[in-house]
Amino acid sequence: MKNSSAIFIAIGVLVLLAAIFFFNKSANPEPAVTATPTGQQSTTASSEASPIPSPTPSVAELIINVPADLTLTAQTLRVKEGEKATIKVTSQVADEVHLHGYDLSQAVGPGTPAQIDLTADKTGRFEIELEERGKAIGILEVYPK
Amino acid sequence: MSQLLFATIFTFLFPAIASAHGIGEVYKLPVPLHYYLAGAGVAVAVSFFALGLFFNKPSSGKELNRIVHVPWLSSVLKGGRVLAVLLLLLTIATGAFGADDLSKNFAPTFFWVYFLIGFSILSALIGNLWDKLNPWKTLAYATGLPRKTGKQVSGWVGVVLLLGLFWLELVSGKSFIPSTVGLALLGYSWFAIVFSRFYDNWYTEGELFSVLYGFIGKLAFVRISDDNTSLILTNPYKGTKAATAHWWTLGLASVLLAGASFDSLKESTLWFDWIQALGFTGSTYKIADTLGLILAPIPFYALYLAAIGIMRKLMGNTYDFKTLAYRFVWSLIPIAFGYTLAHNFSLTIVAAPSMLAFLSDPFGFGWNLFGTADFAQTNLLLGAKAVWFTEIGFIVAAHIAGVWFAHVVAMHLFPNTQQATKSQYPMLLLMVGYTVMTLWLLSQPIVVR
């Protein structure tokens, strides 16, 4: 019995070491910026490539166009902690864009686009919402460094 | 056609609301893959340690059994009963008559966060505390002692009620509307008081919170004596040995395990893809969620029974199936409790400032009784890493406690350590399975509805 005991404990130690290795691996394998555009609702600014290289190339952008019938699939903008992000919203309906957690709000409506600039200093998953209608129009995910 | 009609009625009864947000929101990111793998690895490692150590352990050790006389305990409990009744009335009143806004009203945050999670934790520490403080019991007894009727309510009533509670919390979409909380509690109060007149065992096996906290309370090392004057310190195992298990006890464990897991499943893109593939659309998502919640306990129930079946075969059929199934069911309590904490504990921290604010202004009428009304503005955020470690930590701790509990049960059931250890192969596999599944669910991408 002593033998099997030693074997079990040895396997346990090995698995535990493997687990510790995983915990210590670089905190985040996520790509730095993955705003995922799907055609009609949203595009990233990076696709509107300007000929002059921007001095701050690490600003992640999410562009949201809200149609009058509110049929849009919420897109996710993924950034790393400390990066800069910009959320641009145009809307066919008048409302208020609210970024949860960061508690940033701005009025939006036909002819009045909203732009929220922020430094992603809080980690987590934050909803971008049309406040009055309670409609989620996007997600900001900030991963730890 | 009838499906459409059903959908229409359903939508009419339960209109979608603006998603509950603002107060006590934990901005949870899905757990990254390598955290999930590491958590699962720790669970597997612990299981192997357990196997290794069981071989060396000759007996289950000393039995803890002490009675500590606490003269002032009964006065404290009397005060506690009055406080419990007052808090119940306050929650109903604020929910029903206060501002119908989650961020201004005492009722939703108090009930869903501090009462449900808080009392689960208290019950795990002092096993029968709820039985001593149950405000419905107090009210029922205050209106005349119930006579013996000789009738027993089935424990399945408690299981169905618990499913109902999870439905209200996870599926209804109205759980954080103060008036829902107030009215649901008012309706339930009637139920919880009146039924004690019909069934002798209502406050142990019928009333939802008695069943729930009684179940979690089986974990506790401390109980209050019947005459309310002493604390009894004892091994949880002794309590579970004395208690009779039933199939519904297993049902309760399964619903508890499933409730926490369905919470993360239904937010995942995975679930969303499934129900869309099955033809559910916006207005019928709630039907899909309802079905999902009802079906979710089945895999837990089935996997447990399968593990017990394998264990019985492995041990040469020395015990009948029912005995084994009933005896090991208590090892699921720490797991169910741990999952609940994994999903909700960070909420108790994040919601703390707003709870302080609600105490000063419970109805949301602009009062400031204790000068804490402004605390709601405090934006307490937990970082993603803190949330991940809380989630994984509780799940792995639950796994360890479950493995340990099952081991203790096995040591009492089987003649020697070798046999007891052998019996634990299927149980360890089951618990690793539960743990990996739960961690995996937490790592799923979250959908926006």
pLDDT in tens, chain B (449 residues): 444 444 444 333 333 333 344 456 788 888 888 888 888 888 888 888 887 776 665 555 566 788 999 999 999 999 999 999 999 999 999 999 999 888 889 999 999 999 999 999 999 999 999 999 999 999 999 988 777 888 999 999 999 999 999 999 999 988 889 999 999 999 999 999 999 999 999 999 999 999 999 999 998 999 999 999 999 998 887 777 777 788 999 999 999 999 988 988 998 989 999 999 999 987 889 999 999 999 999 999 999 999 999 999 999 988 999 989 999 998 999 999 999 999 888 889 888 888 999 999 999 998 889 988 888 767 678 889 899 999 999 999 999 889 888 988 888 888 888 888 889 999 999 999 999 899 999 888 888 76
Q: What integer pLDDT is reported at residue A34 of this predicted model? A: 46
pLDDT at A32 over 60: no
0.90 surpassed by complex ipTM: no
Q: What integer pLDDT is reported at residue B143 of this predicted model? A: 86
A126 at the B interface (CB within 8 A)? yes
Q: What integer pLDDT is reported at residue A15 of this predicted model? A: 83
Q: What integer pLDDT is reported at residue B412 of this predicted model? A: 85
Q: Which residue of B has its CA nearest to A30?
A: B32
Q: Which residues of A69-102 are buried (b: 16+ CB within 10 A; e: fewer)?
A: eeebebbbbbbbbebebebbbbbebebbbbbbbb
Q: Write down the pTM of the prediction.
A: 0.85
Q: What integer pLDDT is reported at residue B58 of this predicted model? A: 52
A31 at the B interface (CB within 8 A)? no
Closest listed residue to residue B372, CA positions, set B362, B381, B380: B362
One-character DSSP codes across B52-75: HHHHH--S--PPPEEEEE-TTHHH
pLDDT at A29 over 50: no
Residue for token pair 């959320």: A87
CB count in 10 Å sphere of residue A54:
11
CA–CA separation, A95 and A36 (whole Å): 24
More confident residue, A41 or B397: B397
Q: How far is B304 from chain A (nearest CA, A)?
A: 24
pLDDT at A122 over 80: yes
A70 at the B interface (CB within 8 A)? no
Q: What integer pLDDT is reported at residue B7 of this predicted model? A: 44
Strands (E), B186-259: 222-224, 230-234
Confidence of residue A57 (pLDDT cuts 50, 70, 90): low
Neighboring chain B residues of A124 at a CB cutoff of 8 Å:
26-29, 381-384, 387
CA–CA separation, B123 and B131 (whole Å): 10
Nearest neighbour of A25 by CB, restricted to B34, B39, B446: B34
pLDDT at A37 over 80: no
A136 at the B interface (CB within 8 A)? yes
